[in-house]
Amino acid sequence: MSGLFGELVGSVLAGATQGTTGGGGGNSAVIQAIVGLIQQHGGVGGLVEQFQKAGLGGVVQSWVGSGQNLPIDPAQITQVLGGGGGLGGLGQIAQALGLDHGQLGGLLSEVLPQVVDQMTPNGRVEPGAGAGADALGSLAQQLGGKLFG
């Protein structure tokens, strides 16, 4: 299953990062959704805090630290970020991306560890990381260049 989601992540993000400046209005939808999700939870620091409160502090700290990122189950992602039975903002994101909740959970379980890792290059959460107005441009560069380049 990881291979399928890896292909999905790669193809969706490749399209998203290639078309951010022209045409195809939905090309940056995945990046916008991820940045929006991070901002909705108070930036990287707020996102890390959510995972810690859910008992996944060791997992999320591996994403922040300089070592290997520990995996996370898609169900854990939706549990932490979903906000209940309606999945809160995740339901809206899934609908906007044309994915079902399971696919979105799988996508986020593949991408979020890498995004948090890239947004914490010094092995710690910097104040305001991922919460500023320029986060989209910075994240788009990181996703395009470092994660899949």
- CATH 1.10.10.690 given to domain 2-147: yes
Confidence of residue 5 (pLDDT cuts 50, 70, 90): very low
- Better pLDDT: 2 or 30: 30
Find all residues with CB under 8 Å of 7, minimum gap 6, and list them.
none
pLDDT for 14-33, tens place per residue? 543 443 333 344 436 777 77
Q: What is the pLDDT of residue 129?
A: 56
CA distances from 133 to 32, 64, 76, 141 (A): 12, 21, 28, 15
CA distances from 141 to 42, 56, 81, 136 (A): 21, 28, 24, 9
Q: Does 1 have pLDDT greater than 50?
A: no
Please state whether the predicted TM-score (pTM) of the whole model is above 0.95: no
Give the closest residue to 135 by CA, choosing from 46, 45, 18, 38.
38
Per residue in 75-127, pLDDT (tens digit) is 999 889 875 444 567 888 888 888 888 888 888 998 889 888 888 888 888 76
